[in-house]
Structure 1
Amino acid sequence: MQQKDNDQFSFINEKIKEKPVNKKRLLMQAGFIALMAVVFGIIASLVFAYFQPKFESLFYPEEEPVVTIPQDSVAVTELTELTEETETSEETETSEEPQVPSEEPPLQQPQELEIADVQNVQNKLYAVGREANRFVVTVTGVKSDTDWFNNSYESRGQASGIIIADSGQELLILTERKVISDAQEVYVTFINDVTVEASMKHYDGNTGIAVLSVPRSQVDEDTMNAISVAKLGNSLTTMQGTMVIAVGSPLGTNYSILTGNITSTNNVISTIDNNYTVFTTDIVGSSSGSGVIINVNGEVIGLVMQDYGNEEDQTTLTALSISELKQLIEKLSNNQDIPYIGLGLTTVSAATAKEYDIPKGAYIKEVKMDSPALAAGLQSGDVITEMDGEAVYTVDSYESKLLALKPGDEVEIVVQRQGAEKYEEITCTVQVGVLK
C-alpha cells in the first residue's frame, strides 16, 4: 500500500531542471538590437544633416558676398603718363655716356596694304568678338495676358545681357529692365544654349538698368566652362576714332558681331540726378538693338541703349560710357537702392559764370514733380554750391556725393537763389528717396 502511494505521488519528488540557455536565440536578439542601433544612428545622422544647414541659416545667417567694381579716373592715367615722361627725360639728362652718331638706315618704301592684310585685321577683330560672346547672354521675359476675346496668351520679350560678376553663389547679369518689366518669369540663355531661370536682383528706375541673379547651383559644369565674366574697361580715355566691336544683339539677332569706330564722345544725356556721356558710332544697328561695345582688348566700354540716342540717328548704335555707370552697377549688384532727389542739372563753368554773372556750381534746370527736391523747396534756377558742408562745383561732384548717401538719409543742400538784386544763400534739408 505504501509503495502504491509513493508511486502515486512520485511527481512531487521530481526535481525541476533549469531551462537550458538558447544561445542562438540570444545571438539573434543581440544582432537585432545592434541592427536597430545602427538604423537609429543612420536616421539620426540623416536628420541632423538635413536640419543642420537650416538651423545654421536661422541662427547664423550667412553674409551675402559683396561685389566690388573698381572705379575709373582720367586723372590717374594722366598722372602716370606724366610721371613716365618725367622719368624718361631725367634719364636722358643724367646719362653720362656720349651719344655716338649712328648711320641712318636707308629709307624703306612704304608697303601697300593688300586685301589679305585688311582681311587679317578683320579676322582678328572678329576673334575678339567671338571671345566676348562668352559673357553675352539672352534675357527672356515671359508675360501672361488676355486678348479681346478673353483668351489667355503669353508674350515674350528678349534682349541681350552680359555676365558682370560671379560671387561664388550666383551669377550677376546686366541688362535693360524694359524687357523684363512686369514679366512673370525671367530666363537667361547662355552661349551653349542652356537656359536657366533668373530673378531680379535690383534695378534703377532712372536709367532702366537692371541686374539679374542666377544661382550657381542651377548652372552645370559644362556651362561654367563655356562662359566667362565680362571685364569692364576704362571708357574715360575713349577718343573719337577709337576702333570698337559691338556684341550682343545690335541688329536684333543675338551673338552678332559688328565692327566700327567711335564717331563722337561729346554728347551728354541729362537724366534725373545724373548726366551721362553717350558714345556715338558708325556701326549700323537696330532701333531696338541691345548689347555692349568693347575695345580691341575685349573690355566693355559702353552699354548699348538706343533710347538715349538721337531720334534722327536711330540707324547707328549709341552707348552709355561704362565708367560713369560703374558705381551704379556696383550698388545694384549688392541689392542696394539708388538714392534719388529729383533734379535735372548742368554744370556752371567758369566761363559761363563770368559771362552771365552766375555762381559756380550745379545749376538746377528742372525739379521733378512729387520729388524729395520739390518737397524740400528747391527751385529751377537755383545753383547748388554745397552738400553737407562739402563744396559742389560740377554735376559730377553732386552725383558722387549723392551716390554715397542712402534712401532715408537727410542731406543739407546749400543753393544760391537769385533775388531782386543779387544771389542769396539758402539752405534746404532734403530727405533722399528712391525712384521706382
Structure 2
Amino acid sequence: MKNEYKYTVKGMNENNENNEVNGMNNNYSEYTCFSTDSNVSKKFKRRMTAKIAASIMAMVLVSGGSIGIYHYAFGTNNNLTTLAVEETEETTEKAAESTISAKTVNYTNLTETNRDELTTEEVVQKVLPSVVGIESTFTMTSQSNGGGYFNFGGFGQNQQPQTSTATATGTGVVITTNGYIVTNAHVIYDTEYNSGLASSISVIVNEEDRYDAEVIGYDTDYDLAVLKINAKDLVAAEFGNSDDLELGQNVIAIGNPLGFDLMNTVTSGIVSGLNRQITINEKSMTLIQTDAAINSGNSGGPLINKKGQVIGINSSKMSASYSEASIEGIGFAIPSNEASRIVEDIMEYGYVTGKPQLGISCQDVTENISRMYDLPVGVYVTEVKQDGAAANAGIQSGDIIIKVNGESVTTYEELTAKKNEHKAGETIELTYVRDGVENKVTVTLDEAVAAQN
C-alpha cells in the first residue's frame, strides 16, 4: 500500500512566515507516510501534507521520504548489508579535502552525438550501472504532553521532547568514476518536518554494495544535491543536451519506486512538455514534463533519451488531491543543462553562485488581514538582516512591500519570483508602505552564499 506526499502547487497559508534568507518555510505541516514493510507498527505512520491551494491538484516530490519518509529505521526487509554511517559535517562549507573541480564532472561538457538511436534494451544496459539507490536517515523531534485531554493551560505533566528516527529513499546518478553522485536535495534534506539534513546517508551500488555518503553540497531552491562515496571504477553516466529535446521525443526513466524492493524499475514515455513553470513549496522551477511513470522513490533518478544520455533528473509529479479527479502521467524532471550548472557550482564552491538575496524575513498581508488591520495588501517585513541588501537600502521591520520595479506583488512567492529574475549585484526598485506613506528605494541584491539557500 502506498500513500503519496502532497505539495502545494500555488499559494500559501495566511499565517506562514517566510524567511527569505534561507528560502524555506519553517512551519510544521501534516504529512502522509507510506510503507513497504508490513512489520512497521501502525502507530508510527504519521501524516504531513501541505494545504492544496488549487483544491484539486498537488505536486508530489517523488522521493520515498523526507519528504518521502516511507518507513522507519530498522523496519526494512531488504537484505542489503548495512555499514555504520558517519554523520556528515556541515555542508555550507566546501569539502576541504576534495580536489575535484567542476571541469571533471562528466556532464558539464554535454555530449553531442549523431549516432543512431539505441533500442530500449541497449539504453537500459548502458545507463543502469550508473543508477544508484539512496537511503537517508532523519532524526525527528516532537513534543508529547503525556496528560491526555486535561493537559492544557499549564495543567498536567510538562511537555517532554521525543525523538524518532525515520528513513527516506531515493535514486541518484553517478557523475564521476571516483564516486560523485547527483540526486534531489529533498532526498537528503527535509524542509517539511524541519528535520533538516539527514543524520546519515548511504548509497547502494549495483543493488548490493552499500557505501557511507558525504554531502558535498545541496540547494533546496533548485532541488539538487551532490554526494560523494569512497568508491572507484564506477560507471559515470553520459549527459545529453536538454536544449535539443523536442515534444513527443521518446524517453526512459529508471528509479527505485516505493523503496528498494522494486529497485531499478524501468519505465518509458515521451516528452510531454518543455519549459514548464511549476511551483513547488513556493519555489518556481522550469522543468521537463513527461508521461513516463515517476513514483515515490524515483527522486534523483535519470530521465534518458534514446541515445542513452541523461537529459533530466526526475523530481516530482502531479497527483489528484481533495477531488475525485484522476490525474496520471504528469511527471517532471530538472533539465540536464540546468542541473549541470548547479552541480558545477556546488562542486567548486559548495553553493550555487549568483543567487540574489534581499536579506529579509516576511509574511503575506492577505485580503483578510488587510481588512482586519487596515493595511495594504503586500509583503510585510518581519525582520531585516543586518548589513544585508534591504537593510543597506533603508528597508525596516514593519515595512510592507507592494511593488517590485513598478509591478505589484501581493505574496512572498511573487516577491521571490521577481527577485529571482535578477542576479546578485543587480538592482531592483522596491515600493513599500511605512506608516501609511508610500516610498520607493533602489536595492542592490546580495549574493546568497549558503548551500542551504
CA contact (8 A) 1:244 1:262 kept: yes
Counterpart in 1 of 2:332? 318
Partner of 1:297: 307
Which of the numbers 152, 175, 180 marks the counterpart of 1:172? 180
- Structure 1 residues not aligned, in runs of 5+: 1-60, 78-120, 344-364, 386-394, 406-410
Q: 1:283 aligns with which of 292, 295, 304?
A: 292
CA 1:310/1:399 → structure 2, altered by over 3 Å: closer, same or farther?
farther
Where does residue 220 of structure 2 map in the other structure? 205
198-207 or 306-315: bigger deviation:
306-315
Match of residue 29 from structure 1: none
Q: 1:307 to 1:340 in 2, by over 3 A?
A: farther
Whole-angstrom CA distance in 2 between matches of 1:281 and 1:201: 29
SS of match in other structure, 2:338: helix
Helix, strand or coil: the match of 2:343? Answer: helix
Are the equivalent residues in 2 in contact too, given 1:247–1:293 (CA < 8 A)?
yes
Count of matched residue pairs: 278
Inter-CA distance 204–125: structure 2 relative to 1 (3 Å threshold): same
C-alpha change, 1:128 and 1:332, in structure 2 (3 Å) is same
Letter in 2 for 1:191: N
Residue equivalent to 1:129: 124
Shift of 1:381: 3.3
Displacement of 1:379 after TM fit? 4.6
Alpha carbons 1:142, 1:186 under 8 Å: kept: yes
CA distance in 1, matches of 2:229, 2:238: 19
User: CA 1:156–1:62 in structure 2 vs 1: closer, same or farther (change >3 Å)?
Assistant: closer
Question: What is the root-mean-square deviation of aligned Cα atoms in Å?
Answer: 4.5
Counterpart mapping for 1:195-344 below 5 A: 195-215=210-230, 219=231, 224=233, 227-249=234-256, 253-269=262-278, 276-290=285-299, 291-306=301-316, 313=327, 315-338=329-352, 339-341=355-357
Q: Which residue in 1 is equivalent to 2:151?
A: none
Q: Aligned in 2, Cα 1:429/1:153: closer, same or farther, shift over 3 Å?
A: closer
Offset at 1:254?
Answer: 2.2
TM superposition shift of 1:416: 8.5
- The separation in 1 between residues aligned to 2:287 and 2:357, in whole angstroms, is 23
- C-alpha contact (below 8 Å) 2:201/2:213 kept by paired residues: yes
How far 1:288 sits from its partner (Å)? 4.9
**Larger-Rg structure:** 1
| Partner Cα distance (1:370, 1:231) in 2 | 45
Q: In 2 relative to 1, CA 164–326 (structure 1 residues): closer, same or farther, beyond 3 Å?
A: same
- TM-superposed CA distance for 1:143, in Å, is 3.7
Offset at residue 235 of structure 1 (A): 0.6
Q: Deviations over 1:217-252 (max 9, x none)?
A: xx26xxx2xx31122211112111010010122565
1:284 is paired with a residue of what secondary structure?
coil
Counterparts of 1:368 and 1:264, CA distance in 2: 37
CA distance in 2: counterparts of 1:62 and 1:280, whole angstroms:
38
- State whether residues 133 and 248 of structure 1, in contact with CA within 8 Å, keep that contact through their aligned partners in structure 2: no
Cα deviation for residue 313 of structure 1 reads 4.0
Q: Matched residues in 2 for 1:178 and 1:416: separation?
A: 32
TM-score normalised by L of structure 1: 0.52
Q: 1 or 2, which has the higher helix percentage? A: 1
Kept in 2, the 8 Å contact 1:273–1:341? The answer is no
Give the distance between the partners of 2:318 and 2:210, measured in 1 at CA.
30
Identity %: 20
Q: State the 1:201 CA deviation.
A: 0.6
User: 1:174 is aligned with what amino acid?
Assistant: V
Q: Which has the higher contact order (CA 8 A, sep 6+)?
A: 2
CA contact (8 A) 2:291 2:329 kept: no
